[in-house]
Amino acid sequence: MHYLLKWLLAGLAVLFISAAAIIGSMRAGWWNPSLEEVKAKHAGAPSEFIKTGDVTLHVRDEGEGPVVIMLHSSMTNLRIYDGWAEALKTGYRVIRIDWPPYGLSDDPEPSKGMPGVVTLLEQLVKQQNISEFTLVGSSSGSTISVLYAAKHPEQVKALALSTLPLSAPPTSEPPFLVDFFQYIHQNWTPGYLPEAYFSAFLGWLYGEPSRLTPETVRWYYETNNIPGKFALVKAYYEANLAAVWSKGAKEEASQVTAPILLQWGDRDAVLPEYLVEKAVADFQSTQVDVIHYDDVGHYPMLELPGKTGEDLKTWLDGVYQRKGQD
């Protein structure tokens, strides 16, 4: 018995030392991919970097025709729209940006939250001499789109939004593995999250986890683990609590006059489908078209890029056809 106890204690000591060494190396940044590595992998053609004030924006500008500007959601980047950009660029000029603090864009100033992204978009539009455009948004990118459209009705000709929080999202219950990795991240490794976390997190957000590809998990892991990113994301969230979520964006929604498309999955774990009815009611000054998708979660453009992209293009074609007849 004494012999077994000695081996048990030795095994626990080895386990403890190994765990401490792994956590220490994660805290030291040894596991993080470098910015240069991520750029080399994810900023090939047609990516470009545009200086807008003090901000360096990662941008992809493709196609010709009416301008469509795409705004991704939190914790992701312009790559969520790879499929939609491919579908739209045959008839539209599609501009995708990584808005700070996400992706490969860099803002040296403290975050102002969503209002700061609105200001950045104002500067980019002016710099690029774009007079009118459609805004495509996903989740928090949808909220930013609403804030911008309320402020600049003369510029925004249409809004295509996939999932939309107009107030602080309801409390959700992620699976144990997501909570476990978040606990370790928040208490021990604030600058790093392992690839297994993104696999579990995205699997939770997908309506059908079998649609999640290893490639998608990998680019989420790489772009979010760029050194220093998580500290910037934390500052962004804290800025949003005061700037947006303290009051929500319902007032701005009531001011939007551009036609709106809402694309929403029935299995969205973060923004449940019952929020569609509330969002439609909040848009008091415009027409809202809704397309529901069965067995789809938070990212319609990732789960069903072909179908949802085709629906978006059909709707946009109709909007611009009607505008041409006016």
**DSSP code per residue over 2-55:** HHHHHHHHHHHHHHHHHHHHHHHHHHTTTTSPPHHHHHHHH--TTEEEEEETTE
Predicted confidence at residue 128, as pLDDT, reads: 96
pLDDT for 31 equals 80
Q: What is the pLDDT of residue 221?
A: 97
Claim: this prediction has a pTM higher than 0.85: yes
Geometric angle at alpha carbon 75, from 71 and 79, rounded to 5° = 50
CA-based nearest residue to 145, from 79, 97, 93: 97
Q: Which tokens in the block code for residue 324? A: 């041409």
Q: Which two tokens stand for residue 53?
A: 């004030």
Report the half-sphere exposure of 131 (CA within 13 A, side-chain side). Answer: 1
| Residue among 47, 119, 117, 62 at smallest CA distance from 94 | 62
Spans of the chain below 70 pLDDT: 1-21, 324-326
Q: What is the pLDDT of residues 171-186, one digit of tens each?
A: 899 999 999 999 999 9
DSSP 8-class letter at 100: T
pLDDT value of residue 16:
58
* Structure-block tokens of residue 32: 């993080």
Token pair of 326 as six digits:
């006016």
| 71 to 60, 181, 233: CA distances (angstroms) | 12, 27, 16
CA distance 234 to 185: 12
Give the residue from 324, 323, 320 showing the smallest Cα distance to 68: 320
Whether residue 230 contacts residue 238, with contact meaning beta carbons closer than 8 Å, is answered with no
**pLDDT for position 213:** 97
Residue 161, CA distances (Å) to 94, 143, 188, 263, 322 in order: 15, 9, 36, 6, 20
CA distances from 209 to 150, 205, 206, 272, 323 (A): 36, 8, 5, 17, 39
Q: Write out the two tokens for 210.
A: 């079998």
Residue 72: predicted pLDDT: 98
Predicted pLDDT at 306: 97
Q: pLDDT value at position 15?
A: 64
Task: Please return the burial class of 170, using the count of CB atoms within 10 Å of its CB with bins 0-12, 13-18 and 19+.
Answer: exposed
Count of CB atoms situated within 10 Å of the CB of 244: 22
pLDDT for 295 equals 97
Backbone angles phi, psi at 35, to 5 degrees: -60, -40
Q: Which of 84, 77, 85 is nearest to 105 (CA)?
A: 77
